Structure 1
Amino acid sequence: MSTSVQMEPVMETTYAGVGRCKCSFWFAVAHDILGVFIMMVGVFGGLVIHDLFIYAGAIVIFLSLIWWVFWYSGNIDVPPEELEDDVGLIKLKDRGLGRAVRRVSNRLASGIRSSFRKKGREVNNSPSNTGPDVSLSTVCDSAITPPSKDLMRETLSI
């Protein structure tokens, strides 16, 4: 017994004017106007500290770039068919090439991961290794065994 599910087409909302991120747009415009005003005061104001106003105006205009980036990145439209869940769902049109690229990527990543492991050493996945027979391994791959019950003091020189 099959049930039919009808899906309505998704209509994308179109935004007229400045787009979705109106607040970022107006902050960017305000910073640009303020920066140009401060810079023009430095150029035409005849003040003793005119260079301070010129630099401050340029810095304010530079900081307005942050708001422009927010506005631009907030208005990037991604079609719904491009939005794919990355939990194993494969797009129908990219099935062959996408699967091959994913396999190569997984093999390369697992090869890199396994190359960092020492050859011939088993990986112990037990939650804790407690007991007197635990040995520590250093970068030089020399084993350091824990001392016996007697405490020994060794000096370390750097």
Structure 2
Amino acid sequence: MLLGRRWGRCNPGRCAFLLVLALLLDAVGLVLLLLGILASLDYWDFLVYTGALILAFSLLFWISWYSLNIEEPLEKLDF
């Protein structure tokens, strides 16, 4: 047991929508990036750049999901 929790438990947190959106953008970006690299297409550069931009954009959702899931007790906050 790690900090009183079971190992097999998965908790997406309060913002599950942001987590799903980040995972979806990661999958789409990776597919486009690999398709542009591995397929012999005339527009490979468009796929590579678009995939890389989508992966970079997904970082915003990962940061938002992580930031909104931080839990701090009100006693520790300085007002």
TM-score (norm: length of structure 2)? 0.81
* RMSD of Structure 2 on Structure 1 (CA): 1.2
Structure 1 stretches of 4+ with a deviation exceeding 3 A read none
Residue 14 of structure 2 corresponds to residue 20 of structure 1: yes
Cα distance in 2, alignment partners of residues 27 and 67 from structure 1: 7
Cα distance in 2, alignment partners of residues 69 and 81 from structure 1: 25
Residue 33 of structure 2 corresponds to residue 36 of structure 1: no
Structure-1 residue corresponding to 2:7: none
Deviations 1:75-112 (A, max 9, x none): 1111221134x3xxxxxxxxxxxxxxxxxxxxxxxxxx
Secondary structure of 2:75's counterpart equals helix
Cα offset, 1:24, TM superposition: 0.5
Structure-2 residue corresponding to 1:57: 51
Unaligned runs of 5+ in 2: 1-9
Aligned length: 70
Paired letter, 1:20: R
Cα distance in 1, alignment partners of residues 53 and 29 from structure 2: 7
Cα distance in 2, alignment partners of residues 36 and 17 from structure 1: 25
Cα distance in 1, alignment partners of residues 11 and 41 from structure 2: 40
Paired letter, 2:40: G
TM-score (norm: length of structure 1)? 0.42
Secondary structure of 1:51's counterpart equals helix
Residue 65 of structure 2 corresponds to residue 67 of structure 1: no
Could you say which structure has the greater relative contact order, defined with CA pairs below 8 angstroms and 6 or more residues apart? Answer: 2
Cα offset, 1:53, TM superposition: 0.6
Cα distance in 1, alignment partners of residues 76 and 14 from structure 2: 20
Alignment of 1:1-158 (within 5 A): 17-84=11-78, 86=79
Unaligned runs of 5+ in 1: 1-15, 87-158
Paired letter, 2:13: G
Q: Percent identity?
A: 33
